Amino acid sequence: MTQPVILNWPGGEDEFLLRLGELNALDDSTSDGVLDLRYRLSLGRARGSLAYAPVRIRETLDCVRLGLIGAGMDRKEAQRKADQAFSDGDIGELNLLAFTIISNALAGKEHDPVGEDQAAVEMGAD
């Protein structure tokens, strides 16, 4: 299971995690789903800033709110913090935060790491 990621953001320092339920809710609140949202967030770089990513503010704030809830925060507190961060912060920062939250949720699982901890013992011929 993916672990929460601790991030500094305009709302302070919090844990964020999108589990399957939060990913499904985010899928439902976006036009074409979470994977498309992550792609559209990344397009801001080509436009010169994540502030210019072709996403809706609601999509970004939903991602932040759901990430806080997935990591264990109360729903009302998560909504309050996301709304306050929009008032106090910069949409580019929040878009980067949403991109990071989604990327963490979709990262490869650590159950099958690349490589081995030790070299294999070579069996010699008699």
Tokens of 95: 């878009």
Q: Are 66 and 22 in contact (CB under 8 A)?
A: yes
pLDDT tens-digit map of 40-96: 999 988 788 888 899 999 999 999 999 999 999 999 999 999 999 999 989 999 999
CB atoms within 10 A of CB 16: 27
- Strand partners for 14: 7
Check residues 90 and 120 and name the one with the higher pLDDT: 90
* Interval 27-51: pLDDT, tens: 999 989 999 999 999 998 878 888 8
Query: How far are the Cα atoms of 45, 99, 114, 115 from residue 120, in angstroms, in the given order?
Result: 44, 39, 15, 11
Report the distance separating Cα 35 and Cα 16, nearest Å: 18
What is the rounded radius of gyration, in angstroms, for the C-alpha atoms of the chain? 18
Q: What's this model's pTM, rounded to 2 decimal places?
A: 0.83
Q: Which pLDDT does position 118 carry in this prediction? A: 63
Q: Which residue has the tokens 């990327």?
A: 103
